[in-house]
Structure 1
Amino acid sequence: MFDLTLLAIAAFAAGLVDAVVGGGGLIQIPAIFAVYPKEVPATLIGTNKLASVFGTSVAAVKYARRVQVAWSTAAPAAVAAFAFAFLGAWTVTRVPADFVRSLLPVVLVAVAVYTFKKKDLGAIHAPLHSGAKERWLALGFGGAIGFYDGFFGPGTGSFLLFLFVRFFGFDFLSASAAAKVVNVACNISGLILFGASGHLIWQLGLTMAVCQIAGSLIGTRLALKHGSGFVRKLFLVVVSLLIVKTAWDTVRHLGW
């Protein structure tokens, strides 16, 4: 009972954070691995996807009702992310992810420093592209993020948020809304893959999904109430935590 309560709390917190800036996996994945240390990792990751897809979907719907989602960018990015998440998941079965693991903290530091220095970044919604250029960029970035999510994964939502702000000119709130659409596509793609291979604990995943939805509803409400400034601050906090976690994971994995 204690273990289930712990996972319920973790899922709620993950849903709340993920609804605002992404990065809910920082909370939920360590929790589920701690409670089930002897379970096959693929099964735990698949179960995490099952819970996450519900929380992220609810957040996407809530944002769409209150924020004008840039579908001309989000839709092609989501399609590409869905397809390339499969490719990423297949690739990781053939190629070790050690290089990505070691590079990730450096990339995250660059993202954090850039966001911190650019005080006005994401403050105003001023889309930079339209037409064919917008679609091709969305397909490219969506494919890259989808592949990364399938291949490795940590911080996918936060990377999406940054890309929509930096390269498409969205404010943080609109970027968060678009990121949820793409994140749903990534999660569904991964869920299909893990489900087809039997790597799911359905009862646990659905129980955590209920808690994820509750956290997601509160997180979305906070983001919509407090706007882009709040999302930017929480984004910097989550990215900082991601830097610490991924750096520690790299050191531990390499045996330094």
Structure 2
Amino acid sequence: MPPTTYIWLFLAGFGGGFIDAIAGGGGLITVPALLASGLPPQIALGTNKLQSSCGTALAVLRYARAGLMTTPWLRLAAIFSFFASMGGAYAVSLLNKDLLRQIIPWMLASVAIYTALNRKFGVHPGKTWIPPLVFAMAFGITLGFYDGFFGPGTGSFWTIGLVALLGMDLRHATGYTKAVNLASNLGSLGIFLAMGSVHFPAAGAMIAGQVFGARLGSGLVVRKGAAFIRPVFLCVVFVMTLKLMWDFWG
């Protein structure tokens, strides 16, 4: 790759890390950047998992220091998410993604509509509708596998589930989401590494940007809270929905 490509990858890593730390969806920036650099799809996905894991790890550390990781059954959810994502990454080579590519945009659109209509979404803690243990197991397995297999919208589905079903406010839901996202990223990354599907120089350039972007984004979440997260979350889900619809039907 020419030197200018690594500069663009650094900037893409910064943007992806910033958005990902706040509302998820950083892959909207980083995956197209890796594909545009000329990497094959499988290697682009593996490289993206490596660089995003570094940015997510930094955000998780920041949220832990701010006390946003003291949530019930978080460790169990992370464990299930880790192992399920390994199964999802392995299944990439065996199963057809077309059905998911067709269904997921409509699910994300539902998330956006629900969030937009509910003006108090995640502003204050709400009611718990299902046991946290059941939530950790069900979402850890389902979304962990999904993240390893396909990925777009994983963080949004975690956040909406945590707020709607466990009654969390958006700050704590963001911390929980980043922790389980890190687990599923690491699980699927292990499979991509075993398959040799990682371009380390490209990942290095993006990791440098991720560190700065994730630090800035997580700092804003800790300081600003739900009033800042909600509009960013809505924008990310909306853009992600349009992009996935365009990719499938465009």
Query: What TM-score do the two structures reach when normalised by structure 1?
Result: 0.93
- Cα offset, 1:202, TM superposition: 1.5
Q: Distance in 2 between matches of 1:93 and 1:116?
A: 37
Structure 1 residues 124-158: Cα deviation after superposition (integer angstroms, max 9, x where no partner): 1246268xx31122111111111111111112122
Distance 2:231 2:67 in 1: 19
Q: SS at 2:225's partner residue?
A: helix
Tell me the equivalent position of 2:105: 105
Give the equivalent residue in structure 2 for 1:189: 187
Distance in 2 of aligned mates of 1:97 and 1:184: 23
**Equivalent residue for 1:89?**
89
**What code does the residue aligned with 1:5 have?**
I
2:216 to 206, 215, 218: 218
Q: Calculate percent identity across the aligned residue pairs.
A: 35
The question of 1:175 aligning with 2:173 is answered yes
Contact kept in structure 1, 2:9 and 2:205, CA below 8 Å: no
* Residue 203 of structure 1: how far off its partner (Å): 2.3
1-structure distance, mates of 2:200, 2:110 = 38
Unaligned 5+ runs, structure 2 = none
How far apart are residue 90 of structure 1 and its match? 2.2
Partner of 2:199: 201
1:206, distance to aligned residue in structure 2 (A): 2.1
Stretches of structure 1 lacking an aligned partner (at least 5 in a row): none
In the alignment, which residue of structure 1 is the partner of 2:135? 137
In the alignment, the residues of structure 1 paired with residue 108 and residue 68 of structure 2 have an alpha-carbon distance, to the nearest angstrom, of 28
RMSD (Å), alpha carbons: 1.4
Deviations 1:62-118 (A, max 9, x none): 011113324423211111111111111222322201111001111111111111111
Alignment of 1:2-41 (within 5 A): 2-36=4-38, 39-41=39-41
Q: Which whole-Å CA distance do the structure 2 matches of 1:223 and 1:115 have between them? A: 18
CA distance in 1, matches of 2:219, 2:17: 12
CA distance in 2, matches of 1:225, 1:121: 18
- The DSSP-based 3-state class of the residue aligned with 2:228 is helix
Partners of 2:195 and 2:27 in 1: CA distance: 22
SS of aligned partner of 1:72: coil
The answer to whether the 8 Å contact 2:126/2:163 transfers is: no
Matched length: 248
Distance 1:127 1:55, change over 3 A: farther
The equivalent of 2:77 in structure 1 is 77
Do the aligned partners of 1:50 and 1:206 also contact (CA within 8 Å) in 2? no
Could you tell which deviates more after superposition, 65-74 or 85-94?
65-74
Aligned counterparts of 1:232 and 1:67: Cα–Cα separation in 2: 20
Cα deviation digits, residues 18-49 of structure 1 (max 9, x gap): 0011000000000110111xx33211111111
Q: Partners in 2 of 1:213 and 1:60 — Cα distance?
A: 12
My pick for the range that moved more, 111-120 or 72-81, is 72-81
